[in-house]
Amino acid sequence: MQSAFRPAFIRLVLASLVMTLVLSAPARLRAQDVASLTGIVTDTTGAVIPDVHVKLLDTKTNTSYETTTNSVGAYTFAKVLPGPGYQLYLSRDGFASQRIANIYLGVDATHTQNAQLQVGQTTQTVEVNGSGSQVSLDTTDTAVSTTLNMSMVHELPLVTRDNPLGLLAFSLGSRSPPAETTTPLAAGVEL
Task: Assess contact for 113 and 72: CB atoms under 8 A.
Answer: no
Higher pLDDT, 164 or 85: 85
Whether residues 124 and 147 fall in one domain: no
Report the C-alpha gap between 96 and 167 in whole angstroms: 44
pLDDT at 88: 96
Cβ pair 86, 57 in contact under 8 A: yes
Whether residue 63 is contained in a domain is answered as yes
Q: Is the domain of 43 the same as that of 125?
A: yes
Which of 75, 107, 129 is a domain's end point?
129
Alpha carbons within 13 angstroms on the beta-carbon side of residue 23 total 6
Residue where a domain terminates, one of 78, 95, 129: 129
- 146 and 118 housed in the same domain: no
Question: Where would I find the H helices in the chain?
Answer: 2-30, 150-154, 158-161
Structural domain contains residue 164: yes
Instruction: Decide if 181 is inside a domain.
Output: no
In eight-state DSSP terms, residue 83 is E
Number of domains in the chain: 2
Q: What are the distances in angstroms from CA 170 to CA 19, 150, 180?
A: 37, 14, 22
Host domain of residue 71 = 35-129
> How far apart (Å, rounded) are the C-alpha atoms in residues 70 and 74?
6
- Verify that 92 and 165 share a domain, yes or no: no
Query: Whole-prediction pTM value?
Result: 0.55
Residues sharing a CB contact under 8 Å with residue 148, sequence separation 6 or more, in sequence order: 167, 170
Statement to judge: residues 118 and 163 lie in one domain: no
Structural domain contains residue 12: no
114 shares a domain with 64:
yes
Distance CA 40, CA 169 (A): 34
Q: Could you tell me if residue 151 is inside a domain?
A: yes
Phi, psi (rounded to 5 degrees) for 66: -130, 145
Give the residue from 98, 97, 87, 110 showing the smallest Cα distance to 39: 110
pLDDT at residue 19 in the model:
79
Q: Residues 6 or more apart from 116 whose CB is under 8 A from it?
A: 41, 42, 43, 44, 98
Looking at the structure, do residues 48 and 81 belong to the same domain, yes or no? yes
Instruction: Give a yes or no: residue 78 inside a domain.
Output: yes
What confidence tens digit (pLDDT) does each residue in 91-142 have? 999 999 999 999 999 888 899 999 999 987 655 556 666 554 445 555 666 6
In a domain, 122, yes or no: yes
Same domain, 79 and 149: no
pLDDT at 5: 66
CATH number for the domain spanning 72: value is 2.60.40.1120
Gyration radius from the chain CA atoms: 26
> Do 93 and 165 sit in the same domain of this protein?
no
To which H or E segment does residue 49 belong? Answer: none
What pLDDT shows up at residue 143? 65
In a domain, residue 123? The reply is yes
- Pairing mode, if any, of strands 110-112 and 83-91? unpaired
